[in-house]
Amino acid sequence: MASQLLASAKEKATEMTSAKNQKIADLAIATKDVHHESWRITSDWGTKQSNTDDWLRVASDDHTGPGLLEDGFAREKIHRFDHERIPERVVHARGTGAHGKFTLFESAADVTSAGVLTDTSRETPVFLRFSTVLGSRGSADTVRDVRGFAVKFYTEEGNWDIVGNNIPVFFIQDAMKFPDVIHAAKPEPHNEVPQAQSAHNNFWDFQYLHPEATHMFFWTMSDRAIPRSYRMMQGFGVNTYTLINDKNDRHFVKFIFTPELGVHSLVWDEALKIAGQDPDFHRKDLWTAIESGAYPKWKFGIQVIPEAKEHDFDFDILDATKVWPEELVPIRYIGQLELNRNVDEFFTQTEQSAFCTSHIVPGIGFSDDPLLQGRNFSYQDTQISRLGVNWEELPINKPVCPVMNHNRDGAMRHTITKGTVNYWPNRFHSVPPATEKEGGYVDYAAKMAGIKSRMRSTKFKEHKNQAELFYNSMSEPEKSHIMNALAFELDHCDDPVVYERMTTRIAEIDVDLAKSVAEMVGGDPTKLEQSRPKHNKKAKGLSQMDYAPEKPTIATRMVAIMIADGYDAVAYNGIKAALTAAGALPFTISPRRNKIFAAGEDKSTGKGVVADHHLEGMRSTLFDSVFVPGGADSIATLRKNGRAIHWIRESFGHLKAIGATGEAVQFVRDAVDLPGMTFSTDGDVVDSYGVVTASQVSPNSFKEAIQMAKGAKDFV
């Protein structure tokens, strides 16, 4: 059922999205479809093959002889296979991407001349790649890590890349430190352990030795680093860029994407389990949402500071370890990004997609942010080693506007440039490059003065105020998640120097937090003191609680309906229909994936229901919610099934909505009965746990419960 729903939604989606998107039309030229019945297999040189299974050899009926080198077909097949792999990204190796569009609902012409940010009639095609940072290509999606949020805008004036993260700050201030922070965070060099984890000695050793990383590690220990879905996290350009308008006024700018669905996270126990139970959890989630037509959307915002006000803040606005608090610099939301099409092939689109911070278009410029300056060097360089010098000719990276220059040759050059000259000017073409009016990129003429030295400006030396601002702005549950995350991570460090020193760093931000962590991981809490005076300030926009969904929805939420023989068909069919109508994805789970029969249904003549999964094949962690219809026999069977009981208990522990009707109400109550828990007379949990189990289930109350539990989950 769910798959039929997906298939028809997919057709609709494909029709709707390909029509307008110039990049999709462009990619179609390079696309071939293997699903045609009539094609015949050929070698790469085009000759049809009569056999692709047996190597040409000297043989007879009673003797299998040696293979012949002469067999070009066999050699080609093996050679091609031997060379299928390319280097994975040195960071952000694990990721997934999708196509979409960017539209503008308010022109930013007052601050920029960029067409993509001023022309409200445009639909700019985009490709967005999400990623984790530390793990290899095959690592799990739900690890604790920063998530990459890299957007390529295929604008009429050239590609514009925002290579961002889901966290607005970074570990370091100067790009020259990047190899150190990444070496320290990636698996340790002697044994390549641990994979995709920051919970190890080297990572935390680095954090202590670099006070500038303090703000960032508070973010990575927060719930932001274990998102529920790529669709439910923010994206930040992180670095400070500039915008230049028609009058040649320059503003500093930060770019922000905020998801329509709100910002939500997993709970840590869930994240740990999902990493093993379904390492592809996030990529499947994104894929399914797009296939089912529930296109994820983000509001696009800018924070701008006029050039003249650069020094009006107590932090340096070019320092990537700092946010621009919204109270000081409000976010102006001007556009929308929507993802509406999955890739046709992972390798040629997602894997070969390549981003460069240095790719900008007229109206957008850089700042002297020292991290950005170094990034502008690094990305082009890394693409050359990963994809080759002609990487921008690959279909996914090619701009939709004309590309014409005298860059030539190199490995795997595709374009055939006609003409007898390859330099400029030449006797055939001496038309000067485009002026600003003609769309040429003209660098902002900034006045520069300074001393050549390896130094950072004074304000770059303050590292603690915003770390405290972030921590103070968390809700109590978010604070306790940070405590637990620090306790988990430092528990995985076995060198006392590492965990003891870290507790002193935490004490600079909040001594109570430091004491709790020291109690858990080792270190002497009594020796810790608030070593830096606190400012006790808070700011909005830092806590996830500030990002509730604009329009609550359960579309694409995965709901498990648990049944066994003798289930109540009315309740089962009713809830399934209601969930489907609301765009949620119901899955039937039962003790076996063979037909399950309803109460009163004749096993020899009845149609039965074929479950999507059996109880051992799936885990509660992979669903947003569980519903158990009544039916005396069904519940009697489930009561005897340890896995069924565990499903309920685990869902409860992970703060999910649990619905039950009839006999299932008592079953759910018994399963989650914990000391100190109280139920109301109709079976709802009313006390202390913040989780909803509704006994008088109407489809609507259950839908609300899913929404509420999802919200509660972030905060409880």
List interacting residues with ligand HDD (CB under 6 A). Answer: 89-92, 95, 129, 131, 148, 150, 163-165, 170, 175, 178, 238-239, 320, 354-355, 371, 374-375, 378-379, 382-383
Bind-site residues for heme = 379
- Complex with ligand HDD: residue 359 or 619, whichever CB lies closer: 359
106 φ, ψ (degrees, to nearest 5) = -145, 130
Tokens of 503: 């507790």
Cα distance between residue 316 and residue 266, in whole Å: 34
Name the active-site residue from 92, 251, 359, 481: 92
Tokens of 69: 């080198």
Element (H, E) at 208: helix 201-209
- Complex with ligand HDD: residue 163 or 502, whichever CB lies closer: 163
Cα distance between residue 437 and residue 431, in whole Å: 15
Compute the C-alpha angle 187/191/197, nearest 5°: 25
CB of 179 to ligand HDD, least distance (A): 8
Residues 6+ positions from 449 with CB-CB distance below 8 Å:
none
CB of 377 to ligand HDD, least distance (A): 7
151 φ, ψ (degrees, to nearest 5) = -115, 130
Q: Which residues pair with 465 in a beta bridge?
A: none
Compute the C-alpha angle 180/186/187, nearest 5°: 125
Cα distance between residue 240 and residue 317, in whole Å: 7
Cα distance between residue 467 and residue 333, in whole Å: 26
Report which of 639, 659, 630, 660 is spatially closest to residue 570, judged by C-alpha positions.
Answer: 630
- Complex with ligand HDD: residue 239 or 625, whichever CB lies closer: 239
CB of 13 to ligand HDD, least distance (A): 23
CB of 169 to ligand HDD, least distance (A): 8
Residues 6+ positions from 113 with CB-CB distance below 8 Å:
244, 245, 246, 362, 363
- Complex with ligand HDD: residue 253 or 371, whichever CB lies closer: 371
CB of 658 to ligand HDD, least distance (A): 37
CB of 162 to ligand HDD, least distance (A): 9
CA atoms within 13 A on the CB side of 265: 30
**Distances in Å between the alpha carbon of 365 and those of 67, 156, 241, 451?**
60, 17, 6, 23
CB environment 378-400: b (16+ within 10 A), e (fewer): bbbebbeebbebbbbbbbbbbbb
Indicate if 165 belongs to the active site.
yes
Q: Which residue is nearest to ligand HDD (CB)?
A: 148
Cα distance between residue 135 and residue 423, in whole Å: 44
Q: Are 148 and 95 in contact (CB under 8 A)?
A: yes
CB of 374 to ligand HDD, least distance (A): 4
Distance, CA of 288 to chain centre = 14
- Complex with ligand HDD: residue 178 or 689, whichever CB lies closer: 178
Which is it for strands 241-244 and 364-366: parallel, antiparallel or unpaired? Answer: antiparallel
Please report the DSSP string for 86-114 in residue order: -PPPSSS-SEEEEEEEEEESS--TTT---
Q: 3-state DSSP call for residue 616?
A: coil
Tokens of 155: 């604008």
Cα distance between residue 129 and residue 350, in whole Å: 7
Report which of 551, 385, 395, 530 is spatially closest to residue 471, judged by C-alpha positions.
Answer: 530
CB of 355 to ligand HDD, least distance (A): 5
Name the active-site residue from 21, 99, 159, 165: 165
Bind-site residues = 379
- Complex with ligand HDD: residue 212 or 508, whichever CB lies closer: 212
CB of 408 to ligand HDD, least distance (A): 24
- Complex with ligand HDD: residue 163 or 578, whichever CB lies closer: 163
- Complex with ligand HDD: residue 220 or 556, whichever CB lies closer: 220
CB environment 321-358: b (16+ within 10 A), e (fewer): bbbbbbeebebebbbbbbbbbbbeeeebbbbbbbbbbb
Active-site residue set:
92, 165
